[in-house]
Amino acid sequence: MALPLTLRSSVTPPELELVASQQLIEIVPLISMEKTAFISGAYGPLRPPNKAKIPLWIAVNLKLKKKCHIIAPSWLNVEFLQERLTLETSRPDFSSLPFRFAEAAKVILDVASDDLENPEKIRSLLKDLREARQAKSREGLKTLDHSELSLPNLCSMEINEIRPYFLQSMSILTQLVRNPISDPTHRNA
């Protein structure tokens, strides 16, 4: 394979961002537009001041031209994230967040921070969340098993980050562990 080693086992963050940009998001359009057909489906019509649901990438595009306001998803506000952060720091398991929250949050924060309440607080909460969750996946590394790995509620960006070395470590362990069945001390659910 001609791909560099690091690109073989996982995709890049910008690619994940692209995937996440297909998600639908609500906007308040400032222009009107007829129903328009795209490969993924038809979106619109946009009739200000009525809300419309369109893919994130169109919303970003319109927002950059100042032709819409993005309505933050229900999870992208200070109260919700604060609550999740409390859960995250008080419980050993990962708290449940939308699968592609990191990508969507970053895209929205980048282009539409003026549509959010208290974007700085949201940014710092997201950062705290990320750090708390990273610490947990590091704990997961300590109990790594050669045959199974269960990290429920891990999000796409986090999975993508740990995938290359988790995979490699597990494959090395597979080589080293001789008798998986007779070795119950190392197993963990």
Partner 1 sequence: MDFDYFSIDAILAENQKIQCTFKHEIPGMGHLGGGSERDIAMLSKIQIPIWLAYTIIYSDWAEFNIPTPFGSRVRNALKAEACSVRLSNLVGAGGLWYGFGKTIMDILSDEQANEMSDMLSKTFRDRLPEVIDQAQHFAVLGQAGAGGSSANTAQSFREGLDTSERELFSLAQESAKRTKLWYEDSGRSKH
Site of interaction with partner 1 (CB under 8 A): 5-6, 9-10, 12-14, 17, 60-61, 64, 106, 110-111, 130, 138, 141-142, 144, 146, 157, 160-165, 168-169, 171-173, 175-179, 182-183, 186
CB of 144 to partner 1, least distance (A): 7
Q: Which is nearer to partner 1, 60 or 104 (CB)?
A: 60
> Most distant CA pair in the chain: distance in Å?
68
Q: Which is nearer to partner 1, 176 or 189 (CB)?
A: 176
**Contact predicate 56/72, CB 8 Å:** no
**Residue 90 carries which side chain, given as an amino acid letter?**
S
Q: Which is nearer to partner 1, 42 or 110 (CB)?
A: 110
**Which residue bears the tokens 């208290």?**
118
CB of 105 to partner 1, least distance (A): 11
Q: Which is nearer to partner 1, 12 or 50 (CB)?
A: 12
Bridge partner list, 28: 69
CB of 182 to partner 1, least distance (A): 7
- Kindly calculate the radius of gyration of the chain based on its CA atoms and give it in whole angstroms: 21
Q: Which is nearer to partner 1, 85 or 107 (CB)?
A: 107
**Tokens at 117, concatenated:** 């309440």
Instruction: Compute the distance between CA of residue 131 and CA of residue 99 in angstroms, rounded to an integer.
Output: 17
CB of 150 to partner 1, least distance (A): 17
Nearest in space to 33 (alpha carbons), one of 11, 65, 6, 76: 65
